[in-house]
Amino acid sequence: MRKRKILVQTVNGVSKSFKKQRSLEDSLKQFEEVFKGDDSFRVRHFASVSQDKTIKFCLLYLDGMVDPDILDTSIINPIIRTDFSDDSIPGADVIISQVITNHCAKKSRDSQELMLAIVRGDSVLLLDNSIDAIIVSSQGWKSRTPSEPEGEKLIRGPREGFVEPILDNLSLIRRRLSTPDLKYKEMVIGTRTKTKVGLVYIAGIANEQILNELIERIKKVEMDGIVLAGMLAEFIQDAPYSPFETIGFTERPDVAVADLLEGRIIVLVDGTSEALTLPYLFEKFFQSGDDYSLNYVFSTFSRLLRILSFWLTILAPALYVALMTYHQEMIPTSLFMSILAAREGVPFPTIVETIGLLLVFEILREAGIRMNISLANALSILGALVLGTAAVEARIVSATVIIVVALTGLTGLMTQKIKAPIVVIRAFLTLLAGFMGLYGILYGIIIVTLHMCSIRSFGVPYMMEYTSLNPEELKDTAMRAPIWFLKKRPKFIAKNRIRQTDRSRQR
């Protein structure tokens, strides 16, 4: 019991609330108490002087979070210049409606709300002799300009990408989707970070059941802070133990808009340039924004290529182990002879050799991602020359296995989006191949496909489009039919399924 209490306290790291005082000095003292130790906390005293009296004001803000111009022109300047002589004591309402020239100002007496406003970069105007204070929107910080995301480059298509502030991202979406049906629902997660999370969807297309389920799941999240979109995704996605992701990520507003038009829901998280898209089904792994701007024959070809490389990257080492260990008769004799000649003198069994080299490849890949870019040359020399050539010449591994691992790695690079499942499945299948040969691989694939068929993303089966056997739904999976064939939105995801008229292209 005691333990639990402590846990709640630590998670619930909210600063103590207080009851705001009437007098300016007293309430200022309260705020200074809260922000004690924070040297960027600024207090600006000023007053409006008229013939008979002096009215004191006090502006509270955090340096660096606010735009000084806004404070100057819309708060301090108008108040100092206003003559309050007619009124007895100006109330907060009067000041908001007649004096402050900022587009967004509201009164509040809730200490939590006032503190949050200061922390978020708004400024708080304290009035003398009033229990209310005024929150004036004054946020002004630097953010980078939208640039094309490194991880999702396209040959043809827009060059914009999401940035970190949530409202900038919303505007990137809204600029492409001029309809009042585009809805934005804001929620706040994280007892300490108070991260804004925005659900974007198109009313009338998005499925309300999925939306309600999503809102329920987000409401349940109780944590001190959400820093990345991926952290939120782990809380709300289905099949949380599965290596397969059932929530998608994108950094491209055009992709987000295409998803919205399919009836999916976009979740924006403040402070990350990634948007979550859901429901996310398996075929999305193989789709790319380029597919829709390039010729449909070519897009279909590249999609098939991606699917083929998915299978190759999980199967190549396993097949090699199975064929070399159990089923040598399946390899054409001349090929088998040359593999055998290459293996001559290698001390390890095939399975050890393969798994060892796969591990080396993964280490090289991870090192390549984490290291400083100036070390790239050193890494490639180390990888290619020392590990590759020297290991083969010293007869520690055979050349064939290097080819197999290189093929695995190359095809793996092509399907980066499914990295986590690929690594797990590849190791699983390779071990099974060493254990039971091709039958092990078959059993492994059966288990993997069964798993993919059994998981769901927000109630929508993960493999729905591949397994429904409905020609309408297969049009945008392994192949990419011409755009005018894609008449309907995906089942279950969208409420309203018709997306184009029959007349949209005369044939």
- The least distance separating another protein from the CB of residue 227, rounded to whole angstroms, comes to 34
According to CB under 8 A, which residues from 214 to 273 bind another protein? none
Q: Which residues contact 358 (CB under 8 A, 6 or more apart)?
A: 317, 405, 408, 426, 427, 430
Q: What are the C-alpha distances in Å from 48 to residues 76, 80, 410?
A: 10, 5, 71
Q: How far is the CB of 305 from another protein (least distance, A)?
A: 19
Q: For residue 444, with 0-12 CB atoms within 10 Å meaning exposed, 13-18 middle and 19 or more buried, which class applies?
A: buried
Q: Which is nearer to another protein, 163 or 460 (CB)?
A: 460
Task: Please report how close the Cβ of residue 338 comes to another protein at its closest, in angstroms.
Answer: 14
Q: Which of residues 399 and 448 has its CB atom nearest to another protein in the complex?
A: 448
Provide DSSP, 269-338: ETT-S-EEEES--GGGGG--GGGGTS-HHHHHHHHHHHHHHHHHHHHHHHHHHHHHHT-GGGS-HHHHHH
Whichever of 248 and 461 has its CB closer to another protein, that residue is 461
Q: Is 478 in the site for another protein (CB under 8 A)?
A: no
- Give yes or no for residue 466 binding another protein (CB under 8 A): yes
Does residue 406 bind another protein (CB under 8 A)? no
Edge-to-edge, what's the strand order for the sheet holding 248-250?
Answer: 182-189, 195-202, 265-269, 275-278, 248-250
Minimum Å distance from CB 237 to another protein?
18
The binder of another protein chosen from 119, 392, 396, 453 (CB under 8 A): 453
Residue listed under structure tokens 């020399």: 381
Identify which of residues 378 and 446 has a Cβ nearer to another protein in the complex: 446
Q: How far apart are CA 52 and CA 402, in angstroms?
A: 91
DSSP-assigned letter for residue 19: B
**From 449, 496, 500, 504, residue interacting with another protein (rule: CB under 8 A):** 449
Restricting to residues 408-447, name those near another protein by CB under 8 A: 435-440, 442-443, 446-447
Kind of pairing between the strands at 456-457 and 460-461: antiparallel
Q: Is 475 in the site for another protein (CB under 8 A)?
A: no
**335 or 386: whose CB is closer to another protein?**
335
Between 18 and 326, CB nearer to another protein: 326
- Residue 196, SS3? strand
Please pick, from the candidates 378, 385, 450, 483, the single residue that binds another protein as defined by CB under 8 A.
Answer: 450
Query: Residue 140, by phi and psi: left (phi above 0), alpha (psi -120 to 50) or beta?
Result: beta
In the complex with another protein, the residue whose CB is nearer, 43 or 335, is 335
Site residues for another protein, window 319-378 (CB under 8 A)?
A: 326-327, 329-330, 332-334
Q: Is 57 in the site for another protein (CB under 8 A)?
A: no
Q: Residue 463, interface with another protein (CB under 8 A)?
A: yes
Q: Which is nearer to another protein, 332 or 347 (CB)?
A: 332
- The answer to whether 395 contacts another protein (rule: CB under 8 A) is no
Give the Cα separation of 260 and 278 in Å (integer).
10
Q: What is the phi/psi pair of residue 84, to 5°?
A: -90, 15
The separation between CA 206 and the C-alpha centre of its own chain, rounded to angstroms, equals 20
Interface positions with another protein (CB under 8 A): 326-327, 329-330, 332-334, 435-440, 442-443, 446-447, 449-451, 453-454, 461, 463, 466-469
